Structure 1
Amino acid sequence: MGLSVSRVGSAAQTKAMKKVAGKMRLELAQFRELAAFVQFSSDLDPDTKKKIARGELLTEILKQADLEPAPFEKAVVILYAALSGAMDNIPIPEAQSYASGLLDWLEKLHRDEILGAIRKSSDFTDEVEEKLKAAIKDYGISAKS
């Protein structure tokens, strides 16, 4: 699948999705380029390994079941978690489970202040970002308990 997005597709995105997913296209392009390069080199520096791991993570979390599209506010939250580095230490096979657990946890404890705020305004404000950042940190602590 290509990385191009039509003008119509971009115009149809909410402000929240544009803000969160803005650098995702670049990260996925870098990942694909590095993944092709890795086939010829086994000695990778830590930065390259990190970019490859992030690309694998993004590829994994973008998968969704047929006929089960994620509500945009949930997609925004998961993309933010992945692109902010909050999921960098999650093993790829556990990424979907982590994302699902995070969303369930947010539904129970932060439905209105985070998910509801994104849904109602279609925006990802600095205030919502700070609340989400703190909630993701809290979830990581509670998940380890």
Structure 2
Amino acid sequence: MMLQEIIDKEIKTAMLARNNVRLRGLRAIKAAILLARTEKGVSEDLTKEVEVKVLQRLAKQRRESADIFKTQNREDLYAIEIEELEVIEEFLPKQMAREEVAAIIKNAIASTGASSIKDMGKVMGIANKELAGKTDGKTISEIVKELLS
């Protein structure tokens, strides 16, 4: 079943349950999917990879907004962002532990022969392909920097 169909069913369920928090998060996902479907060069149906990228983008936006609101002591807005983030994360693939990510990145470093921070681009390219949807780019970047330093 396509993500859009799942989201539509979840929206109906949330509406019937009068769960406004969940409904807000689901509507954000639906809007992002519709936007992705209308982008230039996209076929009618989105692939799983594109759906995951859309969800990751939404999650990243919510995390960044939550961090900003937290630093500005806006607990009301922070809570909204975190609630939406929790709904979005339900539809993302299970995220890998930092140790598992580090092991995959070590293999990427070994396969590229990277030895310094100058080779970070090569390692990031391989790591991003292998870890797509399993962790966020920020974590990958941090681990690559640690291992190449």
Larger radius of gyration: 2
Q: Which has the higher contact order (CA 8 A, sep 6+)?
A: 1
TM-score, normalised with respect to structure 2: 0.34
The TM-score with structure 1 as length reference comes to: 0.35
Q: Which has the higher helix share?
A: 2
